[in-house]
Structure 1
């Protein structure tokens, strides 16, 4: 790979890089180019204005002053020392847990409380010890212990067969009716069933069995009823990691047998991590305000805070702060370009913009209309700024990967624009072959891959570029969740038919049936995701985690409708609970 990235940067772009952030107002420092843009614009012959559609998007609900006012006192040495004390006490709890089932339950609590990352070595060691020497003590127990063992081992990529669940079936081959008398065991089997792979029919049967009987439970109440309702809405495997931690803290506080050490640790850790989020959001908000793109390109959604929420959903750990900042800017650019392709741009303009991005050549800018010039120049410079940091720290030229991802994204958007302009309804397969790229999953995950802090190995880069299965499956779930939540509104605005409408048109079924079919496709894709996690060992664990967390974030965003386009409902509450409001200690 060529490492001479410096030759690809305009000299003035490198000269203006600040020491603190790779994302800065891109138009500044390009004085010559800006003058060329003005001369070109003034020389254009006056033409009739292009008829523009409007998405009628809501303006941002988050003011700049509000974002800059976000402050937390959960930082500094006093809190850091208290965290270390609580971590040491939690380690002792894990060491002193009486037997493998107690250890598994404690590991599950640590993970769901959002602090499992603080005990990675200890958790891996305990799971390995149980797997190698004590698994019979768990798998020969009740349905709760066996199902919990299976789920946690699968999560941590141990080879464990679902056949250990077969002894809970009766002579007819069905799960025993007596299991319904154990709601905790039923719930554990339900959660375990979502970790299946293609062909593991026993887990499909477990999912159908537990879903039916959990809904029919009448005698449960209190915390167990709350936990069942929460699981039936979404299994934990599909939930946004950080939001699940926030919910589980409240649940755990009321749980019988709650460990106060774990609760205190989870609350304090949540608040300290939240202080990092607030600092990052203030920083990226200043960048966005200085860039001025929201004012210049007013047709596009201004969703910076929501974009930050997405970046946090994809990579939540404190150590990935730089990655979150760059991803937030990337996601806002994606939002702007998406609105250009879906609503604002004419087909002729979109073909010019796609060509400019494909060439990745600043000299093509004069052919673009003014609003596209502004967008392309800001996009071009911000991408190079992010790439410069990787070059500086790792000596790695990532511009070819980033620019190719942008070109593929714009080409996919152009395909959909052509479908819309010709009133063409594709088959579901044809739609999905394009839509997994147009949803932006590949461009987000490729950026994430290079922004996770460590220099990626050649083997992992080859795996990323040669095996797109993980990115494709992750992006397709993202796409289909988006379609389930937004297709009705987007069609009303004037957009290409989505997966639901494509299937309805192709097969001749009702919208209700089409929606159920799409949900089935999502379930099958999650099985593929589970398989990818077990087989793509060349990819960093942190990247695989991000590839899982992207569709989880999409599930969260679109569970109740368009949580991105209409951000003043559930999405606002999520932002408040994760970024703004600390947990009361």
Structure 2
């Protein structure tokens, strides 16, 4: 077996073994002698480089520590997977399905489908929704769409004279802020559950089902996040590389935006690992020679080539090497498919500062910042049109794969809409989002 295909079980390389080995030694001994230096409002770490045998300046992102501690994440607990809630959800799902199939006419069916999808429970009724839409497609679909839009508008205008006018204003403001198809599905579901509960014609049965389903899915997320937290702590990168972003909760949040359905837990767990590794490696700054050597080591996927790397880069590569090989081995064992070459290709990272798109446009054209921002907004809108066009087109890929590709764009929009939610805003804005989506259940009436 060649060196570049050799798999080292992760369990054989614990944090303690790294600290005891002469070769696989974490960054902490190097960083113990680091000094912080600020140049042009940017913080750097001055450390002694064993690779160059001289002092070099390494840039630091100066990120705050994680606001999520291990014990806090491990203490997450939910009652919503207990038998009483599961049985109640099953009964409610049958009742909602009956409502969908017995709705009086296509317009009523379309309105109910829209409500179920925005409440985040449409995934339970995919075959029923497909049947309804196919039946409408075979008739006068344009007329139905016009009736559906007209009926919604008239209903909302009539409600102007009632207290529910505030709810209409809430919906309009929400729609004007951002198109619905740009929004992260779980966050939209959480928001719409509150909004739907304010409607005068709210269906209590549908509302109860939406709340209960949200809490049950959240309970599954909590178990997955606890598992991810244990993996991340055992890996030891956050502890050894204090300069990097420790973002286990945020990394997991990304996965709920990319593929939220409860049955895709395995995918979320693996994506969380990838997110954590990418975040850490993205924070690695070194000399040009070191970065070239690190890139070459990753591209060759050869542990024998990492001997000249600084200690903290060795640990980064070994964590990447073992995690990716473990993923590939797991898939090979379960399905007989060898995906290592694809995973390796995805991890061939070329490190360095990447100018932001707005800054690039300003430099290239001399345009002021606001004009540059507007230009980038236009490019983003064009890309969304392209993706929307591709969605209904024939494809060899499963629908879940296509959905996750679109949802990645939605999640990126959600994470960076108001700033760097994965970096400097992680302890405030993103923490609040995590509390709403992963920690705090929606209050229910007693069963």
Counterpart CA distance in 1 for 2:19 and 2:53 is 27
Range moving further from structure 2, 521-530 or 131-140 = 131-140
> Is 2:19 the counterpart of 1:13?
no
C-alpha distance after superposition, 1:407-463 (max 9, x if no partner): 1xx13x3xxx3xxxxxxxxxxxxxxxxxxxxxxxxxxxxxxxxxxxxxxxxxxxxxx
The 8 Å contact of residues 107 and 123 in structure 1, kept in 2 or not, is answered as yes
**What are the equivalent positions in structure 2 for 1:517-556 lying under 5 Å apart?**
517-556=375-414
1:371 aligns with 2:312: yes
Counterpart residue number, 2:41: none
Alpha-carbon distance change, 337 to 36 in structure 1, aligned in 2, over 3 angstroms: closer
Q: Distance in 2 between matches of 1:7 and 1:48?
A: 31
CA contact (8 A) 1:112 1:248 kept: yes
Matches within 5 A, 1:180-195: none
The one of 568, 573, 578 equivalent to 2:432 is 573
Deviations 1:23-57 (A, max 9, x none): xx66688899x45446xx99x68822211222111
- Is 1:91 the counterpart of 2:100? The answer is no
Render the CA deviation track for 1:158-198: whole Å, top value 9, x for unaligned.
xxxxxxxxxxxxxxxxxxxxxxx86959xxxxxxxxxxxxx
Question: What CA distance in whole angstroms lies between the structure 2 residues aligned with 1:26 and 1:101?
Answer: 59
Q: Is residue 345 of structure 1 aligned with residue 286 of structure 2? A: yes
**C-alpha separation between the residues in 2 aligned to 1:374 and 1:136?**
59
Provide the C-alpha distance between the structure 1 equivalents of 2:371 and 2:360, rounded to a whole number of angstroms. 12
State the Cα distance separating 1:6 from its structure 2 match: 12
Asked whether 1:110 is paired with 2:110, we answer no
Quick one: structure 1 residues 240 and 26, their matched pair in 2 at CA, closer, same or farther if it must change by over 3 Å? farther
Residue 317 of structure 1 is matched in structure 2 by 261
Change (3 A) 1:220 1:67: closer
How far off its partner does 1:135 sit? 2.5
Q: Closer, same or farther in 2 for the Cα pair 1:142/1:325, shift >3 Å?
A: closer
C-alpha root-mean-square deviation of aligned residues, in Å?
2.7
**Judging changes above 3 Å, is the alpha-carbon distance between structure 1 residues 568 and 231 closer, same or farther for their aligned structure 2 residues?**
same
Q: Deviations over 1:314-349 (max 9, x none)?
A: 111111111111111110110011111xxx222211
Greater alpha carbon shift after TM alignment, 125-134 vs 301-310:
125-134
Cα deviation, 1:268-315, whole Å, max 9, x if unaligned, reads: 001111111111111110111111111111111001100010011111
Contact 2:415–2:421 (Cα < 8 Å) also in 1: yes
Residues 1:498 and 2:356 are matched in the alignment? yes
| Residue 127, structure 1, aligned to residue 158, structure 2 | no
Greater CA deviation, 219-228 or 255-264? 219-228
Higher helix share goes to which structure? 1
Match of 1:262 in 2: 206
Q: Is the 8 A contact 1:100 1:137 kept in 2?
A: no
Pick 1 or 2: higher relative contact order, CA cutoff 8 A, min separation 6. 2
Task: Please point out which of 175, 178, 197 is paired with 1:231.
Answer: 175
Q: CA deviation at 1:76?
A: 2.5
**TM-score if structure 2 supplies the norm length?**
0.87
Give the match for residue 235 of structure 2.
Answer: 291
Structure with the largest fraction of strand: 2
Q: What SS does the corresponding residue of 2:410 show, helix, strand or coil?
A: helix
Which stretch of structure 1 is more off in the superposition, 351-360 or 125-134?
A: 125-134
Measure the CA separation in 2 of the matches of 1:142 and 1:339. 50
Q: Distance in 2 between matches of 1:45 and 1:542?
A: 46
Partner of 1:385: 326
Distance 1:264 1:570 in 2: 28
Change (3 A) 1:136 1:529: closer
| Cα distance change of structure 1 residues 563 and 372 upon mapping to structure 2, 3 Å threshold | same
Determine helix, strand or coil for the equivalent of 2:420: coil
Q: Which segments of 5 or more consecutive residues in structure 1 lack a partner in the other structure?
A: 18-24, 149-180, 186-218, 418-494
Deviation, 1:229, is 0.8
Q: Does the CA-based 8 Å contact 2:215-2:441 persist in structure 1?
A: yes
Determine the C-alpha separation between the residues in 2 that align with 1:140 and 1:246: 28
SS in 1 for 2:58: coil
On the 8 A contact 2:244/2:283 being kept in 1, the answer is yes
Q: Is the 8 A contact 1:280 1:325 kept in 2?
A: yes
8 Å CA contact retained: 2:15, 2:236? no
Q: Which SS does the other structure have where 1:98 is aligned?
A: coil
TM-superposition CA deviations, 1:533-574 (whole Å, max 9, x none): 122511111111110111111111111111111212221111
Q: Secondary structure at the match of 1:52?
A: strand
Q: Is the contact between residue 13 and residue 30 of structure 1 (CA under 8 Å) also seen in structure 2?
A: no
Contact 1:86 1:261 in 2 (8 A): yes
Residue 510 (structure 1) aligns with = 368
